[in-house]
Structure 1
Amino acid sequence: MAMDDLRAALQANANDTRTFQTHLEPILREGTRELFDEFLDTVLSAVASDEAVANLMRAADFKAKSVAGPISDYVTYRIGRVFLDRIRNEDMAEMFFRRLPPDSELAASLHLFYVEFFLKKENWRKLEQLFQQEAQAQGVADPASESKRRAARLAQEKGNEERALAYWQALRKEVPDDHEATEELLLLYKKTGKWHQVAEMLRLKAESLPVSAAREQIALYEELIPIYRDHLKMEAKAAAAYQAILKLQPDNEGAFRELCSQFAQSGRWPDLVKLLKGQVEATSDPRKAYGLHKEIAVIMEERFSNAMEAMRSYESMLEIAPDDLQVIRKLKTLYEQRRDWGKYVDVARRELSFLQGSERSTKLRKLAKLALDNVREAEVGVGLWKEVRAEDPEDREAFDSLMSLYERSKDFEGVAGLLEERIGQVFAEEQKQLLERLATIYATRVQDMDQAADTWNRLLELDAENFRAKAELKKILVRAKDLDAIDGFFRKHGNPGDHTRTLEAMAKEEEEPILKVQMLFRLAALYGEAGGKDDKARAALEEVLSVDAQNVEAAQKLVELYPRLECWEPLVSVQELLLAEKQDMPRQERLELLLSKARIHEHRLDQIQEAFFTYVSAYQIDYTRSEVHSEMERLADASNNWETYISVLEQTLDLMEDERDKAPYLLRIAEILEAKLDNVESATEYYNRVLAIDETSLVAVAALGRIYRRGEQWDRYREILERQLILESAPEERQQILLQLGEVCQHRLQDADGAIRAYGMLIAEFPGLPKAYEHLCDVLHREQRFGELLDALESRLAALQPRGTELADLLVDIGMLHFSVHEDVDVAVGRYVEALQVDPEHARAVMLLEELIGNDRVQLRIARALQPVYELREDRARLCDSLEIELKWTEARQDRIDLLSRLRVLYLEADNAQAAFLTVRRLLLLLSDDASLRQQFEDLAGQLDGWSAVVELYQELVELIGSMDYRHEVMRAAAGIYHLNLGDRETAKTLY
């Protein structure tokens, strides 16, 4: 309904902005695009005038600025679209579009608009910025380069070649290896006729390619050549391109021929020659090289008149075609012109190969004479004259010419050769002269001493007494140091003395070690042959060692020589040398040598340390030799080298395959570590290794026990004792082991159970062993395990059957335990009584019985048991107490009379009148008729002033007395006591 009103109002007045804004306000507040689109469609359909629409849009824009939120941007966008689509005013539309946030969806939808807009404006900078923003939004790695690429493409699409060139150039500047930019620039340069740029790009592209891309490079240079030649008229550049092709592909015939033609046409002969030489170096085809050299030779002769260079080319041609007669004659002419006779002779000799017969012989002799006269190199003439002699060996001119050439060139070997030939052709006397001359030449000129010596020997065969021959031969042999030859010489031409002196002099001067040693050996041998010269032989052999300290041969000879001279220290030194250097010495021989050395150290030089270590080496060779082992151990003790000895035994263990064989060695190592080195820790390790091999080794077990006990390692010591029990069968040993095991468990480990088990086993095996019971009982008592203690004591009693005090003590202990464990007072008292029967003086039994005497159940038994003790002790007080107790439990009248009678005596003896008085009173109750007893009672009463008690008793007795007369007598006595003693006359009167 509101939209209809708006439509009607605008149709009536298209410029009614008030109504327009009135309807717009609630829509903007609502903020939905749908409402605004409906509103705008209504407005556009109602208003026909573009001017009016423009005014209304401005009013809408003004109103929208007062509203915050996304609707404001949407209104701006729609107003811009109205200006663009309805009013066709792109500039006004762009004014609204530019106000949109760049990162909004609305702005993004305007990309094509802006591309066309900036194109129409030819604003390429804005276009580039637009493309760059889009690339950034898309996450392109290089947005700047991508924007230039799109701008270049667009410029090409729109036919703007200059702009496209500018962008492609900029892109290639930023990314030089961009393929698209390069290709597009080439097309544009060619299209626009910019050949310099085309050529430069092609050149740079070719130069940038790797060596492996030769084919592509050649194609680029081939493309460059017509550009340089036809478009740029740069012949030199074209030539350079051809040269580049040849450098890449030397056998490119087309490029080569084009370049040759170009150089020839332009008269660049030096360049052409250089080109031809380059092809010579590049080609491997001999025929092609031959033609190239020929071209060079022609150019050098015809263009430069350079015979030297031409000769070089002809020489190269001759190397390729050695039988080319035309080239040979051409070179012969050139060499003759230049008077180069050496080369002339060389090619002339080649020409001789084409000749035969006399013609060849004539030209050969002529050439030989030319060489003799004109060629400085004597070997050239020598070769030719040799050929002449080959055709005629008797040719005297050839012989003389050769001798002249040899002497001129100082070729004394050649001279010697000719002399050798001559010697074979003459008689003996002349041979002597020629041999002497020949020997001198060999010695002084040729410096071939072997040949010289041989020649002097040949002369001596002809003339055995020739002094010079002997002297010179001796010098040569001495100088040559040919010892075998010297020996032969002196045996044939000299004597032993001269031989010895010569060798002495040679050895003295000789500096080369090997030769010096050889000479000294021969000297030693000569001294030995002479006899009686052991000292000199020794000196020679020792000098050998001074030169070559590791010489085994000298050492062996000295080993044989030194004992004869009693040189013991040097003997040891050479023995050591032999042992060190003679690696191939048989095992047994090495062993015997070491044993000999060891004995010398000990018995000759008193070197105990050295002797020990030598025995070590011998033992390492054969550890099975018991005498070697024993000697090594003996000296280990003497030299205090136990650690080394152990190390050697350890090495021996590695040689044994059977583990059982190792046990004795391990045991011995352990014993030494313990006893000699006091290294208990290591000894323990080795004893354990023994047990790992032989778990029944009592020696190892005992040793470990000894170590653990000494080290107070009680847990381990217990384990060892337990192990010993398993292994040991001897009763005496088992007894000691069990005692030790119990002691360790009890006192060291505080393991009462372990101690009890040990002592229990000890008792089981040795029931008659008192100390076993003692230890067991001690543990049980300490642990307050009284039940078990009681059992143990009972077992001890039964097994040991002790006597005297020991028995009494045991009985008391058993009684105490019965009382404390079972609360069995009867058994306890029985054991105490038994103890007193064994030992009446047993204090503990007495004390314990006295403690229990208050127990009614056993009171009588205790009292009777204690009475003999008290009697023995003459302890009347305690005896009386015990009798009183017995009296308490005695009912028989006579027994009571006996007890009371005994008590009366004891009390009287003890001067205890009060107790005696009371005891007599109790007797009178039983023996009321006994007048003497009554008299004793009254006597005691008089002492104690106990008359009241007397009269009370009398009054009580009256009722008991059967005899009337005695009753009257008692009554009278009572009355008299009241009267006389108590002063009670009334009672006395009554009684009377």
Structure 2
Amino acid sequence: MSRPKKSGTLPPPGMTDTAPGVQAPPRASAPVAVAPAPEADGFAADARALIKACENELGKAPAPLRAARLHFEIARLYEHPLLDLRRAAAHYQEALGLSPEHVPTIRGTRRVLIARKGFQIAAPLFDAEARLTSDPRQKAALLFQKGRLLEDVMGAREEAKAAYQTALELDRGDPALLKAVEQTELAAEAWGALSRTYERQANAVSEDPRQRAVLVVQRARLLERRRGETDAAIELYETALRLDPKAPGALAALKRLHHSLRRWRDLIRVLELETQHTADASIRVMALYQIGRLHSARLGNRREALSALERAIREAPTEPLVLTELARLYEVDEQWESLVSVLERLTDATEGTDERLGFLARIGELHEVRLGDDERAEHFYEAALKIDPVYIPALQALGKLYRKRGQWEALVAMHL
């Protein structure tokens, strides 16, 4: 950081600092009689003695720069250790009037004025110091402090925003400045400007993809909810996912937006991303189930639907939702053996008696009618009757099979 620019003739701060051609103010030394006292009282007595010496010299009408130095030293002593901020402020301001480019005087004046709640007079002194430094970041820091004073203490949000914006031009990537600008724009509901600020924030953390993704999502939400720019928001959510596949909120937002816009292929692509990057098997299964439903119900792609559902069932072999959809598609596709297998799984996964009976009767029918396996059909009909001996569909189907196969004794026994 560069050192602040100083006046060519005024010496830097410090009781012992000197500069060519400028005599330091007189010291309070041994000749000053001080009664024994605690250390703090001793400091105060020394300070008053030195103030008296400086005032005596001021009474002799010294040159302006010498007078400025004397007022500065008096102000410092009143500020500490004497804690008399009223007199400190008066002497700092005298010094500043005589030497307006002396940075320690500017700082002291500003510090004491703020302590005494003279905010209106103190605020321009941040600009005064900023003009005297060549370091852009130091200038930006001073303008940031001014903005904080204007916003947090004086309630002057517009003036604070102007100070922040000027500072940001000097140090475009400073996180504190960007956050301050964000807060003022949010309060003012300046959505366009806020969007640009979010973009700057994201660019400022380009080496941290995860943090950048969070900021990109924040900007996407703003464009979606406040400006109605859905396509731009979708593009930003996609960008966030490329930066971090687990970017909070990005996947959920894309699923919601693609569904509302009926962009089924885009929705499937996002769901596929979810299956690849989640460690939760239940989330993966539901994503695959949705992919299957979209392919079958929205796009008419039965083969792709079956592929997704079969992947899901490998993850969760007894998930009723997936099994039911698989059964429906296998039946439409006339894949009878696969349908029987799925119905058997559904039977095992189902606790309700009525549903189990229905599945067993259906499996028996498939073996009998579609697969030509009467023996297996008989097995499943009989399994249904073990659960409910008077289950009519199973009784009727089994009676027909017994007659067909000439199993008269079994037929008679069934009706006894």
Matches within 5 A, 1:907-922: 907-922=385-400
- Name 2:116's counterpart in structure 1: 639
2:184 maps to 1:704: no
- Name 2:198's counterpart in structure 1: 721
Taking the aligned partners of 2:102 and 2:298, their CA distance within structure 1 comes to: 68
Question: Letter of the aligned partner of 1:683 in structure 2?
Answer: A
2:257 maps to 1:779: yes
- Name 2:232's counterpart in structure 1: 754
- Name 1:688's counterpart in structure 2: 165
Matches within 5 A, 1:810-849: 810-840=287-317, 842=319, 844-845=321-322, 848=325
Taking the aligned partners of 1:610 and 1:794, their CA distance within structure 2 comes to: 73
- Name 2:11's counterpart in structure 1: none
Question: Letter of the aligned partner of 1:596 in structure 2?
Answer: E
For the residue of structure 1 that corresponds to 2:123, the secondary structure is helix
Q: Match for 1:597 among 74, 80, 95?
A: 74
TM-superposition CA deviations, 1:858-896 (whole Å, max 9, x none): 687456424312322233433444455453475443x34
State the Cα distance separating 1:793 from its structure 2 match.
Answer: 0.9
Taking the aligned partners of 2:297 and 2:94, their CA distance within structure 1 comes to: 75
Taking the aligned partners of 2:412 and 2:90, their CA distance within structure 1 comes to: 115
TM-superposition CA deviations, 1:339-394 (whole Å, max 9, x none): xxxxxxxxxxxxxxxxxxxxxxxxxxxxxxxxxxxxxxxxxxxxxxxxxxxxxxxx
Distance 1:623 1:910, change over 3 A: farther
TM-superposition CA deviations, 1:796-835 (whole Å, max 9, x none): 21333x4432222111121122234422234324433443
Scaled by the length of structure 2, the TM-score of the pair is 0.73
Scaled by the length of structure 1, the TM-score of the pair is 0.33
2:350 maps to 1:873: yes
Distance 1:835 1:590, change over 3 A: same
Distance 1:653 1:677, change over 3 A: same
Q: Match for 1:764 among 242, 248, 265?
A: 242
Taking the aligned partners of 1:605 and 1:788, their CA distance within structure 2 comes to: 72
Matches within 5 A, 1:431-470: none
For the residue of structure 2 that corresponds to 1:611, the secondary structure is helix
Q: Identity across aligned pairs (percent)?
A: 18
Distance 1:675 1:926, change over 3 A: farther
5+ unaligned residues in a row in structure 1: which ranges?
1-555, 940-992
TM-superposition CA deviations, 1:954-974 (whole Å, max 9, x none): xxxxxxxxxxxxxxxxxxxxx
Taking the aligned partners of 2:171 and 2:273, their CA distance within structure 1 comes to: 39
Distance 1:695 1:605, change over 3 A: closer
Taking the aligned partners of 2:56 and 2:405, their CA distance within structure 1 comes to: 125
2:132 maps to 1:649: no
For the residue of structure 2 that corresponds to 1:868, the secondary structure is helix
Question: Letter of the aligned partner of 2:382 in structure 1?
Answer: R
Contact 2:213 2:241 (8 Å CA) reproduced = no
Question: Letter of the aligned partner of 2:74 in structure 1?
Answer: K
Matches within 5 A, 1:860-939: 861-862=338-339, 864-886=341-363, 887-888=365-366, 891-893=370-372, 895-928=373-406, 930-939=407-416
State the Cα distance separating 1:711 from its structure 2 match.
Answer: 4.5
TM-superposition CA deviations, 1:582-610 (whole Å, max 9, x none): 5x7242x2332122221343347543244
For the residue of structure 2 that corresponds to 1:733, the secondary structure is helix
Matches within 5 A, 1:273-288: none
For the residue of structure 2 that corresponds to 1:767, the secondary structure is coil
Distance 1:842 1:916, change over 3 A: closer
Taking the aligned partners of 1:576 and 1:660, their CA distance within structure 2 comes to: 42
Contact 1:698 1:724 (8 Å CA) reproduced = yes
2:211 maps to 1:733: yes
TM-superposition CA deviations, 1:23-62 (whole Å, max 9, x none): xxxxxxxxxxxxxxxxxxxxxxxxxxxxxxxxxxxxxxxx
TM-superposition CA deviations, 1:220-266 (whole Å, max 9, x none): xxxxxxxxxxxxxxxxxxxxxxxxxxxxxxxxxxxxxxxxxxxxxxx
State the Cα distance separating 1:689 from its structure 2 match.
Answer: 1.0
Taking the aligned partners of 1:733 and 1:629, their CA distance within structure 2 comes to: 39
Matches within 5 A, 1:959-978: none
- Name 2:147's counterpart in structure 1: 670
Taking the aligned partners of 2:400 and 2:248, their CA distance within structure 1 comes to: 53
Taking the aligned partners of 2:133 and 2:344, their CA distance within structure 1 comes to: 83
Taking the aligned partners of 2:248 and 2:72, their CA distance within structure 1 comes to: 60
5+ unaligned residues in a row in structure 2: which ranges?
1-24, 35-44
Contact 1:673 1:680 (8 Å CA) reproduced = yes
Matches within 5 A, 1:233-632: 575=55, 578=58, 585-587=63-65, 589-603=66-80, 606-612=83-89, 614-618=91-95, 621=99, 623=101, 625=103, 627-628=104-105, 631-632=108-109
Matches within 5 A, 1:89-104: none
Q: Which has the higher contact order (CA 8 A, sep 6+)?
A: 2
Question: Letter of the aligned partner of 2:164 in structure 1?
Answer: Y
Contact 1:616 1:648 (8 Å CA) reproduced = no
Taking the aligned partners of 2:375 and 2:256, their CA distance within structure 1 comes to: 49
Taking the aligned partners of 2:261 and 2:105, their CA distance within structure 1 comes to: 59
2:276 maps to 1:798: yes
State the Cα distance separating 1:918 from its structure 2 match.
Answer: 1.0
Taking the aligned partners of 2:344 and 2:307, their CA distance within structure 1 comes to: 15
The two structures, once aligned, show a CA RMSD in angstroms of 4.1
- Name 2:20's counterpart in structure 1: none
For the residue of structure 2 that corresponds to 1:779, the secondary structure is helix
Contact 2:68 2:95 (8 Å CA) reproduced = yes
- Name 1:373's counterpart in structure 2: none
Contact 1:673 1:682 (8 Å CA) reproduced = yes
Distance 1:912 1:585, change over 3 A: farther
For the residue of structure 2 that corresponds to 1:788, the secondary structure is helix
Taking the aligned partners of 2:222 and 2:197, their CA distance within structure 1 comes to: 11
Contact 1:907 1:915 (8 Å CA) reproduced = no
Distance 1:657 1:741, change over 3 A: closer
Contact 2:361 2:380 (8 Å CA) reproduced = no
Contact 1:853 1:862 (8 Å CA) reproduced = yes
Distance 1:719 1:900, change over 3 A: farther
Taking the aligned partners of 1:904 and 1:749, their CA distance within structure 2 comes to: 65
Taking the aligned partners of 1:831 and 1:575, their CA distance within structure 2 comes to: 91
Question: Letter of the aligned partner of 2:92 in structure 1?
Answer: Y
- Name 1:950's counterpart in structure 2: none
Question: Letter of the aligned partner of 1:916 in structure 2?
Answer: A
Question: Letter of the aligned partner of 2:123 in structure 1?
Answer: I
Contact 1:815 1:828 (8 Å CA) reproduced = yes
Question: Letter of the aligned partner of 1:724 in structure 2?
Answer: Q
State the Cα distance separating 1:751 from its structure 2 match.
Answer: 3.0
Distance 1:602 1:831, change over 3 A: same
State the Cα distance separating 1:794 from its structure 2 match.
Answer: 0.9
Distance 1:623 1:883, change over 3 A: farther
Contact 1:853 1:863 (8 Å CA) reproduced = no
TM-superposition CA deviations, 1:467-488 (whole Å, max 9, x none): xxxxxxxxxxxxxxxxxxxxxx
For the residue of structure 2 that corresponds to 1:695, the secondary structure is coil
TM-superposition CA deviations, 1:492-541 (whole Å, max 9, x none): xxxxxxxxxxxxxxxxxxxxxxxxxxxxxxxxxxxxxxxxxxxxxxxxxx
Question: Letter of the aligned partner of 1:725 in structure 2?
Answer: A
